[in-house]
Homo-oligomer: A and B are copies of this chain.
Amino acid sequence: LIAEHAAALFANTALAGKRVVITAGPTREALDPVRYLSNHSSGKMGYALARAAVEAGARTTLVSGPVGLATPEHVERVDVISARDMLAACQERSASCDIFIACAAVADYRPAEIQDQKIKKGGEHSSLALVRNPDIVAAVAAGSPRPFTVGFAAETRDVLNYARDKLARKNLDMIVANDVAAEGLGFASDENEVTVIWREGEQALARAGKQTLARQIIQLIATHAGQPQ
């Protein structure tokens, strides 16, 4: 605890004056007025990053899907439900921010149609037509001007290779890779273990509480975002 407090004190100017936008939590994609597709993201990592960004002196905005977490102090919170809502909220803010961290677990697909009325049961088998959601972090990274753009890769296998590919393919500046299949880690957990990858290097961060990891990630972002790209 003393070490954590000391870390917070030393970190407190790393992002002074910077504007940081962080997405967090899942998105929910409606099928009809009562049903939706979603995922198990708790939002804890994104919220921990927001706290760490505030500690580092940044003006911090959370664009948050539906989660059961309190808004961290000194954080502006924008609540959204669907991936398209989240994209709109991010695009409004991405050109005027310095750092964009896409920590949300955005649904890759949404139902192709949203029914106005509750869908009635039909036969034994059915199928749900899906359409790809917008790729929020790629859209932000493709902007001009663009912030220093950080993605997350939550995977259940071949995590580092997939993360390196995603970094290049989406033109990100940094990506945080974590294995959500590892026991006791990932979505609902309070601990995590990640590898932070940028163009010229990477750093593994050992298993730790999400708030401790968040501070380490924010320090890495501050170091690399300050360098000419």
A residues neighboring B (CB under 8 Å) = 31-41, 68, 105, 107-109, 112, 116-118, 121, 123-132, 154-157, 180-181, 187
Contacts and interface: CB of A to CB of B under 8 A. Distances in A.
A156 B30 CA distance: 15
14 contacts: A32-B156, A34-B154, A34-B156, A34-B187, A35-B37, A37-B37, A68-B68, A109-B121, A117-B157, A118-B154, A118-B180, A124-B131, A124-B132, A126-B131
Nearest to A181: B33
A108 B127 contact: no
A128 B127 contact: yes
A46 to B, nearest CB: 15
Q: How many copies does the complex hold?
A: 2
A187 B32 CA distance: 14
Given A35-B39, A40-B36, A181-B33, A131 B125 contact: yes
A127 B113 CA distance: 12
B156 A105 contact: no
Nearest to A157: B117
A79 to B, nearest CB: 14
Given A126-B130, A127-B127, A118 B37 contact: no
B121 A130 contact: no
Contacts of A121: 108-109, 132
A118 B156 contact: yes
Contact of A38 (B38, B123, B131, B154): B38
Given A34-B40, A38-B38, A116-B156, 18 more contacts: A32-B156, A33-B181, A34-B41, A34-B154, A35-B37, A35-B39, A35-B40, A36-B37, A36-B38, A36-B40, A37-B37, A112-B125, A118-B155, A118-B180, A124-B132, A126-B130, A126-B132, A127-B128
